[in-house]
Structure 1
Amino acid sequence: MRAWCKTAGDRINAIVEAIVAALMLLLVLDVWLGVADRYYFHWQLPWPEELARYLMIWAAMLAVSCGISRREHIGLTLLVGAIPEGARRVILIAMDLVALALFLYVFWFGIGFAQSGATRQAMIFGTSLQPYYAAIPVSAGIAAIQILLTMIRDMGDYFEPSFEEEAE
C-alpha cells in the first residue's frame, strides 16, 4: 500500500509540476508582454495585468500540493525534533490529519465559492470568474489527495524521522 501511494503521489506530482511550470512560463511571457506594451509599443493592452493575476493564483495554489508531496512545506521541525520519539509519531500524524481536514474544508467550501463565480464577470475579459475561482477547490482537492497519499507513504517513517539530517 505504501509503495502504491508513493507511485500515485509521484505521478500526480509530476503532472501538477508540469502544469505549474507551464503556468509560470505563460506568466513570465504575459508580464514581459505587459512591460513591452507599456514602455515600448504603447498598444495599451488591457488584459496582461489581469491575466497575470489569474495565472499567478492558479500556479501558487497548485504548487501547494507539490510542496506536500515532497514534504517541503513549512513545518516546525526544530520543535518536533525535540520531542521524544514515542510522542513524535503521534504529533506528526496529528499534524497531517489537521492539514488534511483543512484542505478538505477548503475544498468543500471552495466548490460553492467557484460556483458563485459563474454569475460574476472578469473586468477585462468579460468572461465568467468561475474558471478562475475554481483554483481554490481544485488545488485544495489535489492537496488533500497528496497529503493522504504522503501520510500513508510515510507511515513507517514516522517512527524515526531524521530531523538532524534536514538541519544540515
Structure 2
Amino acid sequence: MANLSAKAKSMSLKVNWLVERVCVALLVVLVLDVWLGVLVRYVIPLPLTFTEELARYLMIWMALLAVSSGIAYREHIGVEFVFGRLPAPVRRWLAVAFDVIAFAFFFALFWYGLGFAAKGFSRFTMIYGIPKGYPFMGVPLAAAMACAQLALTGIHDFFAKEAPASTGVSEATMALRENN
C-alpha cells in the first residue's frame, strides 16, 4: 500500500508541476498587461481599454488555479497546534477527514460553478464582447483541480507508511522547525 501512496504523491506533484507553469504564465501575462495599462494611461495616450478587464480575469484564473498547488504542498490552513500533538493514528484519520471535507467543499464549488459558468454564456463582457462564461470557467476548472489534488493527497495520507506530521504547513517549513 505504500506503493500506492508514493504513486499518488508522484502524480500529485506531476499535476502540480503543470499547474505551477500555467500560473507563472498567467502571472507573466498579467504583469505585462498591467504595465501596458499604466503605460497607455500615463505615458503614451493610446485608447487601449482592454487592459483592466484582462488583468481582472487573469488574476482570478491565476489565484483560483494556485489553490490546487497549495493543496499539493499542504500549505492550506490547518490547526497545527492541535494536530501536531496528537498520536500518529489519530493524525492519519484527521488528515484524511480534512481531505474529505475539503473535497466535498470543492466538489460543491465545481458543481455549482458549472451552472454559474453556463449562465455566464448568456452575458457578455463589457470590453471584449465575449460571453462571460469563458472567464467564469475558471471557477469549476480550479475546483476540479483542487478535487483531483485532494483525492491524491487523501490517498497518500491514508496509505502512507507514516502518518502526516503536520497539516497546513509545508514539509520544508517543518524541516526548518526541526533543525532550529
The TM-score range, normalised by the shorter chain, is over 0.9
Alignment RMSD: 1.9
* Deviation of the 1:160 alpha carbon: 5.1
Superposed counterparts of 1:1-168, under 5 Å = 1-155=4-158, 156=160, 159=163, 161=165, 166=174, 168=177
* Deviation of the 1:150 alpha carbon: 1.2
- Report Cα offsets for 1:69-117 as digits up to 9, x if no partner: 1111222212211334343222221111100111111111111111011
**Matched residue SS, 1:88:** helix
- Asked if structure 2 preserves the Cα contact closer than 8 Å seen for 1:17 and 1:63, the reply is yes
In 2, distance between residues paired with 1:72 and 1:78?
Answer: 15
Q: 1:158 to 1:105 in 2, by over 3 A?
A: farther
* 74-83 vs 90-99, which moves further: 74-83
* Deviation of the 1:4 alpha carbon: 2.0
Q: Normalized against structure 2, the TM-score is what? A: 0.86
For structure 1, the 5+ residue unaligned runs are none
Write 1 or 2 for the structure with the bigger share of helix.
Answer: 1
**Matched residue SS, 2:121:** helix
For structure 2, the 5+ residue unaligned runs are none
